Amino acid sequence: MSDLDDFKATYFDECSELLTELEEQFAVIEEGERGADRLNAVFRAIHSIKGGAGAFGFTALVGFAHAYETLLDYVRDGRIELTDDVVVLCIRANDIVADHVNAAQTGEALPADYGAEEKARFDALARGETASDSVEEDELDGEMVEEFDLDFTPVMVNLDAPKPTGEAPVEDVFDDAPMMAAEGQWEIRFTPHRALYARANDPLLLFRELAALGKMNVRAILSDVPPLSDFEPFGVYCTWEITLVAPGLGEDAIREVFEFVEGDCDIIIAQAGTVPGLVSDESEMAADVSAEAATDEPDLSSLLALTEEEVAAPVEPVVPPAAFAPEPPAAEIGPQDSFDEAPADLSFAALAAEIAPAPAPAPKVDKPAPVAASAPVAKPAVPTGGGESEEGTGRSVGVQSIRVDLDKVDRVVNMVGELVITQSMLTQQMDETLRARYTELVRGLEVLAQTTRGLQDSVMAIRAQPVKSVFSRMPRLARELATKTGKKIKLETIGENTEIDKTVIEQLSDPLTHMIRNSADHGIESPEKRLAAGKPESGTIRLSAEQAGGNILIIVEDDGAGINRERVLGLARDKGIVAPDITPTDEQIDQLIFAPGFSTAEAVSDISGRGVGMDVVLSNIKKIGGSVHVRSWPGRGTRMTLRLPLTLAVLDVMLVKVGGGPYVVPLSSIVETMQCSRAAFERVPSGGRVLQVRGEYVQVIDLAQRFELSSQQNPDDQFVVLCEAEGNQKVALVVDDIIGQQQVVIKSLEENFESVDGIAGGTILGDGNVALIVDVQGLRTSPIHQNAA
């Protein structure tokens, strides 16, 4: 039971990877690159998802994936042209598959007809393109979805069966036979190896693809079927010979059908027209067939004679139920057999001889038995799952990786974090006298410092992941938003290979979703408005990631209308977020969209500005030690910048003293430190203070005052830490003393408490005491909130 759960978990892991790959492939396909490789990758991904889904009995997913797969199959073999419409449909289908996977994972039920519309469109497409033999196709399609997987009992039933739809099989053979002599006639001998079945490939699929290329006749060669006593359950005893009449068809097209099983089978393809002997023999053979077919009974008996009566027994019962073989089985077996025995089976025999060393032929006569016995859906899919994963490993040759439980990595990361701190604590203990006396100890500490740094970097690299894993979910969101809002939205992503700590990435999904939704909802205008404003009809949302020093910047930018500051400010005043007597700057107004309480449910419907759950963005980002900044240009767009720490584990900080207690300021935000007198602080009308630093006035934040501590410092001898907040805005933090630089491990306050204004978290110092991390950005923007409170 728990094993199954493990498998399921692995399956869902794989699904999410495969879905990501689908997104990637379609991102390229959408741009016009429509190579066979792409389609094959897509096909493989869907096939793998379907396979596993079958194994776990996710029938809805199997059903949909199967229909989708069929469409892809048709697209791949060129029966359906990959037009833009089809691409859009496929992308939609990916989303539906994703939903199905998600539903299967969470156990939620989707509406029964979920995706039915798309499924119908697949069928319509398939039908439309194959109008010539639409009856047959319909028949096939109908069956494929429901029965194909379930009932396929790969008895050597010739595929002619489904084609003539059981009306007059024998005649059909007759009809085909003369035509075969015509040009464009191909002879194919297909000898699967055991590996082909082991990888869950299915000859029927291949035959069906072939059938789509032209008129086809398939014969199973049963001469290698051993007596039942020698029957090996997983043995492969059947070979097929296919005659395909398709004027103008190239060998490549046929090869392509077998592309996936190349190496797992022997294939001989010969053009009947080019080999004179073959054609005549073929027609002769056809005559034979007809002759034999006319006398089915003796034919059957000759088959039985050839094989063993026991074989015939298991074979026969399986045949009739097969959905695609309505005719009496004897009729089919007849012709194949006759072909086999036909003295004139030269060309194939000769050709086969060449590749004879390959073991092989013959069927899964065995397989059907167990299949039929067990649950119909699950059965064929089980091998599929296994087969695909093999394929998966085959693909990723070169990059070897293991799956490790994240908890284990985290434990290492935490320990390395503590180690780094212990190491820096040790280093601090070394004073000059000690240094002079114990040179060996000093050297040892230096090596230790280096090694710890290296260890830390390596461990961090283990957890680092490209932001792609989050970014790749966004195109879908943008599409859905475009549909919902009726706007045209283009999503561009840049720098998706930028790597960030996995824990940061996990926290990124929600904020990004909110930000993009916000941009689409409120930023991008309707097509008409955009055209009126002289902008391109479709709006662009650009999602980019880049590394800037010890930070990662994630920027969501749109070319929409910008923030409607009047309304935002009005609303903020109504809600008491901004006191009436305060006039915030434009920039401060922009930041208001992140204010808690601003973006309540009412706000969403009330304002044409922004504010869909944006405080979630702020709180999520703050939680991981990041900050958010928004900048808007009326009529031209909005840019939201997330500044995230590269890693959460260790932070370089400046240790300062405020009101007698230690506080730390992230080094990444510090520009410089200086010493100055309080007299240098100038007063501005709001009651705040500013300080002139090299010709620039910056806001002064007295930490002791803000934290309601009593400064123990002589006012004339104050230290100032000049920090840079978002948007290149500088702030001067007034502290009592500067102790020094250090590395710390960030600890969450929220784990056992709650977030505290102006504090980004806590950390544990070398002496075991807790020091608080100053939230520079939070301090800078909080006065507005405070005055309101």
Partner 1 sequence: MEALSLRDDMSDKTAVAGQNTLQLIAFSIGEQTYGVEITTVREIRAWNGATPLPNTREFVRGVINLRGTIVPIFDLRARFGDGQTSPTKNHVVVVMSVGDKWVGILVDAVSDILTVNRDDIHNVPEGNSIDTELLNGIVTHDSRMVGLIDLHAVVSGAKMDG
List residues binding partner 1 (CB under 8 A).
418, 661-662, 706-709, 747-749, 751-754, 756-759, 762, 764, 768-772, 789
Q: Report the distance separating Cα 313 and Cα 308, nearest Å.
A: 9
Residue 370 vs 596, nearer CB to partner 1: 596
Question: Closest by alpha carbon to 359, among 194, 202, 190?
Answer: 194
CB 22 within 8 Å of CB 94: yes
Residue 346 vs 709, nearer CB to partner 1: 709
CB 182 within 8 Å of CB 95: no
Contacts of 265 (CB under 8 A, 6+ apart): 190, 191, 192, 193, 196, 258, 360
Nearest approach in angstroms of CB 742 to partner 1 is 16
Q: Report the distance separating Cα 307 and Cα 225, nearest Å.
A: 6
CB 316 within 8 Å of CB 153: no
Residue 67 vs 734, nearer CB to partner 1: 734
Residue 165 vs 755, nearer CB to partner 1: 755
Nearest approach in angstroms of CB 748 to partner 1 is 7
String of b and e for 433-470 (b: at least 16 CB within 10 Å)?
Answer: eeeeeeeeeeeebeeeeeebeebbeebbeebbbbbbbb
Residue 488 vs 747, nearer CB to partner 1: 747
Contacts of 620 (CB under 8 A, 6+ apart): 507, 510, 511
Nearest approach in angstroms of CB 583 to partner 1 is 22
Residue 380 vs 662, nearer CB to partner 1: 662
Contacts of 609 (CB under 8 A, 6+ apart): 522, 563, 564, 565, 567, 568, 571, 593
String of b and e for 38-59 (b: at least 16 CB within 10 Å)?
Answer: bbbbbbbbbbbbbbbbbbbebe
Q: Is the dihedral of CA 169, 171, 174, 179 positive or negative?
A: negative
CA 647, 783, 626 angle in degrees (round to 5)?
Answer: 10
Contacts of 226 (CB under 8 A, 6+ apart): 232, 235, 237, 307, 308, 311
Residue 392 vs 661, nearer CB to partner 1: 661
Q: Which H or E run includes 697?
A: strand 696-702
Residue 357 vs 768, nearer CB to partner 1: 768
Nearest approach in angstroms of CB 408 to partner 1 is 18
N-term to C-term CA, the chain = 55
Residue 432 vs 767, nearer CB to partner 1: 767
Q: Which H or E run includes 371?
A: helix 368-373
Nearest approach in angstroms of CB 90 to partner 1 is 44
Nearest approach in angstroms of CB 551 to partner 1 is 24
Nearest approach in angstroms of CB 455 to partner 1 is 19
CB 322 within 8 Å of CB 155: yes
CA atoms within 13 A on the CB side of 321: 17
Nearest approach in angstroms of CB 715 to partner 1 is 20
Nearest approach in angstroms of CB 789 to partner 1 is 5
| Helix ranges, 250-325 (H) | 251-257, 276-294, 296-306, 309-318
Nearest approach in angstroms of CB 749 to partner 1 is 6
Nearest approach in angstroms of CB 706 to partner 1 is 7
Residue 162 vs 417, nearer CB to partner 1: 417
Residue 601 vs 789, nearer CB to partner 1: 789
